């Protein structure tokens, strides 16, 4: 009889759950109160036979401990609910949704560029943003009197130093030098990073922006390899059928040098504001690595040749998303940044 009661109440205690203080109090009175069930059962226990006492004693103690533990647990948890109720919080209201962050449009484009070149076997290399004259200018064949070495164009940090003046790097080409100095050909890498120029901030210019540099050095690398690599890149990034054209240009560290245009992504060559009605837009500079640069990095320019290219990530993003003002990229306006949540995860 007593055993049956204990079994039944054990099930009831196990099933009991509440967050309400008054219900928990009723539970306490019912089981643990001075006129409660446990008291009754202990009274009944006094009347059972000595043989039964031996087996039931243990069961009874466990039952009492169960009720006490349950009460204590619910009280600890219920304490929170009690406070919350006092503070006027309605726990039955649905929770607030978390806003999922968005990737920055520049990060999206950078990642896409990296993925395309990864398919061609290019690895990603990085270098410091604070550079010395050697890595940023001299090794790259910049003449002494080149305007980039002027205060007008570069943020200098310190005069002098083992490898010349210290400045914020003006291009990611400095990473090329570091890579070639540190290893042996073949090199096949792209180098994304932030660069700095001493320019007034406007819709079309900024004192910092982002570039991706590319370098491929091996035996028998030709301009045809350069053209095919960049042609593939453009087809992947802007879709098949995008046309490319190369115009002769000049960079101190490549010879010959070219600028590459693509058929306008907006008007497909028909002419629009973006392409200034020419049907073409410039996206990057490139060329064959100047033998002087290879020699500066202790690479035999008779045996090895290579190509390099560099593009502004902002420029690529502008063409992709039709963003007309460079300043938007660094103003951290969530209304602007949120728009790119669903494109290119
Ligand atoms: Zn156009």
Question: Residue 344 above 60 pLDDT?
Answer: no
Q: What is the pLDDT of residue 81?
A: 47
Tokens (6 digits) for 222? 């030709």
Report the SS3 class of residue 229.
helix
In sequence order, what are the residues at sequence separation of 6 or more whose Cβ sits closer than 8 angstroms to the Cβ of residue 341?
100, 102, 103
C-alpha 243 to ligand 1 mean position (Å): 13
Q: Indicate whether 193 and 47 sit together in one domain.
A: no
- The verdict on residue 145 lying in a domain is yes
Distance 264 CA to ligand 1 centre (A): 4
Cα-to-centroid distance, 278 and ligand 1 (Å):
7
Residue 99 resides in a domain:
no
Instruction: Kindly state whether residues 60 and 148 are assigned to the same domain.
Output: no
Residues 33 and 178 reside in one and the same domain: no
Q: Are residues 147 and 69 in the same domain?
A: no
The rounded Å distance from CA 231 to ligand 1 centre is 19
Our count of domains for the chain comes to 2
- At 200, which CATH number? 3.30.930.10
71 and 210 both lie in a single domain: no
Same domain for 77 and 150, yes or no, is no
Please determine, for residue 228, whether its predicted confidence score (pLDDT) is greater than 80.
yes
Number of Cβ within 10 Å of residue 332's Cβ equals 9
Kindly give the distance from the C-alpha atom of residue 12 to the centroid of ligand 1, in angstroms, as a whole number. Answer: 77
Domain that holds residue 146: 105-343
178-214: per-residue pLDDT in tens? 999 999 999 999 999 999 999 889 888 899 999 999 9
Instruction: Confirm whether 98 is domain-assigned.
Output: no
The strands making up 208-218's β-sheet, listed across from edge to edge, are 123-124, 187-196, 208-218, 305-312, 280-289, 254-263, 244-251
**63 plus 177 within the same structural domain:** no
76 and 117 together in one domain: no
Distance (angstroms) between ligand 1 centre and the Cα of 265 equals 7
Q: Is the Cβ–Cβ distance between 294 and 141 less than 8 Å? A: no
pLDDT of residue 345: 44
pLDDT digits over 136-150, tens only?
Answer: 999 999 888 877 777
What average pLDDT is seen over the chain?
88
Across 149-158, 172-181, 261-270, the highest mean pLDDT is recorded for 172-181
Going from the Cα of 276 to the center of ligand 1, the distance in angstroms, rounded, reads: 7
Asked if residue 243 is part of any domain, the answer here is yes
Ligand 1 centroid to residue 263 C-alpha, Å: 8
Q: Is residue 237 part of a domain?
A: yes
Is the full-model pTM beyond 0.85? no
Asked whether residue 56 is assigned to any structural domain, the reply reads yes
Ligand 1 centre and the CA of 42: distance in Å?
Answer: 92
- In a domain, residue 97? The reply is no
Q: Among the ranges 27-31, 117-121, 235-239, which has the highest mean pLDDT value? A: 117-121
pLDDT at 234: 95
Nearest to 271 by CA among 279, 280, 261, 260: 279
- Indicate whether 127 and 251 sit together in one domain: yes
% of the chain with per-residue pLDDT over 70: 95
∠5-8-14 over CA atoms, to 5°?
Answer: 135
Does 135 share its domain with 229? yes
CA-CA distance, 259 to 250, in Å (whole number)?
9
Q: Is 96 inside any structural domain?
A: no
Q: What is the pLDDT of residues 10-64, one digit of tens each?
A: 888 888 888 888 888 899 999 998 889 989 888 888 888 888 888 888 888 889 9
Q: Are 180 and 196 in contact (CB under 8 A)?
A: no
Pair (69, 134) in one structural domain:
no
Ligand 1 mean position, distance from CA 170 (Å): 29
Domain finish residue from 29, 59, 90: 90
Q: Rounded to the nearest whole angstrom, what is the distance from the C-alpha of residue 297 to the centroid of ligand 1?
A: 41
Q: Do 212 and 144 share a domain, yes or no?
A: yes
Domain boundary among 28, 58, 90: 90
Last residue of a domain, one of 61, 90, 119: 90
Q: Say how many Å lie between the CA of residue 235 and the centre of ligand 1.
A: 17
Model confidence at 87, in pLDDT bands (50, 70, 90)? low
């Amino acid at each position: 009889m007593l055993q049956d009661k204990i079994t039944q109440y054990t099930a009831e205690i196990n099933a009991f759950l509440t967050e309400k203080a008054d219900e928990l109090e009723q539970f306490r009175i019912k089981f643990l109160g001075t006129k409660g069930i446990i008291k009754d059962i202990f009274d009944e226990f006094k009347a059972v036979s000595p043989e039964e006492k031996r087996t039931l004693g243990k069961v009874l103690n466990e039952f009492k401990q169960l009720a006490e533990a349950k009460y204590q647990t619910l009280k600890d948890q219920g304490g929170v609910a009690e406070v919350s109720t006092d503070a006027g919080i309605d726990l039955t209201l649905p929770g607030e949704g978390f806003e999922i962050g968005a990737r920055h449009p520049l990060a999206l484009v950078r990642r896409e560029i990296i993925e395309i070149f990864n398919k061609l076997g290019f690895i990603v290399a990085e270098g410091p943003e604070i550079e010395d004259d050697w890595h940023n200018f001299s090794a790259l064949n910049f003449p002494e009197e080149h305007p980039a070495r002027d205060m007008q164009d570069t943020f200098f940090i310190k005069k002098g130093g083992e490898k010349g003046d210290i400045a914020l790097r003006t291009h990611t080409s400095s990473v090329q030098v570091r890579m070639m100095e540190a290893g042996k050909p073949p090199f096949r890498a792209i180098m994304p990073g932030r660069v700095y120029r001493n320019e007034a901030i406007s819709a079309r210019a900024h004192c910092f922006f982002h570039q991706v540099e590319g370098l491929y050095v091996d035996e028998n690398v030709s301009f045809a390899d350069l053209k095919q690599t960049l042609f593939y890149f453009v087809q992947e990034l802007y879709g098949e059928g995008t046309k490319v054209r190369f115009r002769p240009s000049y960079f101190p560290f490549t010879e010959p040098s070219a600028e590459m245009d693509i058929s306008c992504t907006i008007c497909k060559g028909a002419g629009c504001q973006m392409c200034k009605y020419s049907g073409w837009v410039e996206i990057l500079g490139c060329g064959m690595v100047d033998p002087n640069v290879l020699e500066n990095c202790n690479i035999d320019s008779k045996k090895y040749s290579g190509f390099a290219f560099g593009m502004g990530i902002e420029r690529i993003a502008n063409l992709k998303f039709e963003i007309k003002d460079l300043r938007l990229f660094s103003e951290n306006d969530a209304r602007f940044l949120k728009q790119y949540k669903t494109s290119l995860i």
